[in-house]
């Protein structure tokens, strides 16, 4: 199995352009099922999760033509609701996103349980409840079976602001008969992008970016051409890499309009950047001092649904805190295994107390030292890669398939910025 060998302590310098947003392209690929006409997608990231989704769609009869490395032509002229490979479904959480569009297009699909990152229980109840409100019948006996005669618009209150459940409800609703209102909808940038894509095809989705979506069902959708936006999680990863390596980066086409809350949180860790149109410049003279609360109280960084600080960036923030002066508490109530990677940071020399599965306290700054590491999930894997970049000595990161699931050729991108990193 491939691994990364990293020699730390080298400041990153140069310019970088992030890849397309993984969390946008996966639902958009699934949404291509909703039309028989061809779709051309630009800026498709070359990552494992995207290729897994492609394989799943191809097994349903969707055709793909690779125009270039990041441009695909997708056409679902004929759909066959065949049995999906359980191993492919287990590889990505996004396999569940096939339920909504397949119900709208074919009225039937069976799905093995979805997989993805091992960060604790990730319920699918919200998906089922939303699709049932639209008229679907769902059976669950290890395998999920979704069927319907036809979908009808409904007033849906999601019992949690689940990203993928919101996406499934949107895709099922755009061709449902009548009007659908989705309340307590998630509103992350990738959900906004899915809505914009569907509207380009002829869907009628209003209040995009809010937590109450109004959708008027249409009889059919057309084809079209769409460009996937930048992956803001990758953008923030590069910001963190520049800060803790004491480097200086310009990130091109960074989508700074989505980073207001991230900027507030990173400012509390002593990390700043400048916005130059659609680009971001990260200077080398970072303060890296934790800003206390009033009366010198220990501050808390907690994740919340968008537009608050996202759970997927918690691991990166924790690594930055190990290099910032002061004490801070991190709280991720969403996933009970998100913080288990902190034992690897402790083995590198970080001063971290894991209070419980959801909370940790970080005291910094501390000198990190190279170690033999393994990334348990995409975001923790990238966080450990950042820690290795700032560490003294050599680090080995194993299980890099997890990183490759969400970051395109990250070793080549970092090497172009001066990092000493080898894949072997």
Residues assigned a catalytic role: 117
Nearest to 109, CA basis, from 101, 121, 117: 101
Q: Residue 11 has which token pair?
A: 């400041």
Number of residues that make up the chain = 424
Widest CA span in the chain: 64
Radius of gyration of the chain (CA): 22
Separation of CA 303 from chain center: 14
Cβ(202)–Cβ(227) under 8 Å? no
Question: CA 13 from chain center: how many Å?
Answer: 25
Q: How far apart are CA 125 and CA 127, in angstroms?
A: 5
Are the C-beta atoms of 22 and 45 separated by less than 8 Å?
yes
Of 235, 271, 234, nearest to 47 by C-alpha is 234
Q: Cα–Cα distance between 56 and 337 in angstroms, integer?
A: 28
Cα–Cα nearest to 101, from 169, 43, 188, 171: 171
Spell out the residues 6+ positions from residue 296 whose beta carbon is closer than 8 angstroms to its own. none
Is residue 207 left, alpha or beta, with left meaning phi > 0 and alpha meaning psi from -120 to 50? Answer: left
| Nearest alpha carbon to residue 76 among 50, 104, 46, 95 | 104
């Amino acid at each position: 199995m491939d691994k990364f060998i990293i020699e730390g302590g080298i400041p990153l310098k140069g310019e970088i352009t992030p890849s397309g947003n993984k969390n946008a392209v996966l639902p958009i690929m699934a949404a291509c099922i909703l039309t028989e006409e061809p779709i051309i997608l630009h800026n498709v990231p070359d990552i494992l999760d995207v290729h897994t989704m492609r394989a799943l769609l191809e097994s349903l009869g969707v055709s793909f033509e690779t125009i270039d490395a990041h441009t695909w032509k997708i056409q679902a002229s004929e759909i066959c609701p065949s049995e999906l490979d359980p191993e492919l479904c287990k590889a990505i959480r996004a396999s569940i996103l096939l339920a909504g569009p397949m119900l709208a297009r074919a009225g039937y699909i069976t799905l093995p349980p979805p997989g993805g990152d091992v960060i604790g229980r990730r319920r699918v109840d919200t998906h089922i409840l939303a699709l049932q409100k639209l008229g679907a019948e769902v059976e669950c006996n290890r395998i999920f079976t979704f069927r319907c005669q036809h979908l009808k618009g409904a007033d849906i209150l999601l019992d949690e602001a689940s990203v993928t459940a919101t996406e499934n409800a949107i895709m099922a609703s755009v061709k449902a008969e009548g009007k659908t209102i989705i309340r307590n909808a998630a509103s992350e940038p990738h959900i906004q992008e899915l809505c914009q894509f569907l509207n380009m095809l002829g869907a009628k989705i209003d209040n995009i970016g809010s937590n109450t979506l109004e959708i008027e069902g249409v009889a059919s959708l057309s084809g079209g051409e769409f460009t996937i936006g930048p992956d803001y999680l990758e953008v923030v990863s590069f910001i963190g890499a520049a800060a803790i390596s004491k480097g200086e980066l310009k990130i091109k086409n960074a989508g700074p309009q989505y980073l207001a809350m991230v900027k507030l949180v990173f400012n509390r860790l002593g990390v700043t950047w400048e916005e130059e149109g659609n680009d971001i410049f990260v200077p080398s003279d970072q303060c890296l001092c934790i800003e206390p609360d009033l009366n010198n109280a220990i501050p808390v960084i907690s994740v919340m649904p968008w537009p608050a600080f996202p759970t997927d960036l918690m691991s990166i923030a924790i690594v930055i805190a190990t290099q910032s002066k002061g004490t801070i508490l991190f709280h991720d109530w969403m996933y009970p295994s998100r913080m288990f990677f902190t034992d690897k940071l402790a083995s590198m020399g970080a001063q971290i107390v894991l209070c419980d599965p959801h909370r940790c306290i970080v005291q910094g700054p501390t000198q990190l030292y190279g170690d033999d590491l393994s990334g348990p999930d995409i975001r923790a894997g990238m966080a450990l890669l950042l820690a290795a970049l700032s560490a003294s000595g050599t680090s080995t990161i194993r299980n890099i398939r997890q990183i490759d699931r969400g970051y395109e050729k990250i070793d080549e991108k970092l090497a172009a910025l001066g990092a000493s990193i080898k894949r072997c």
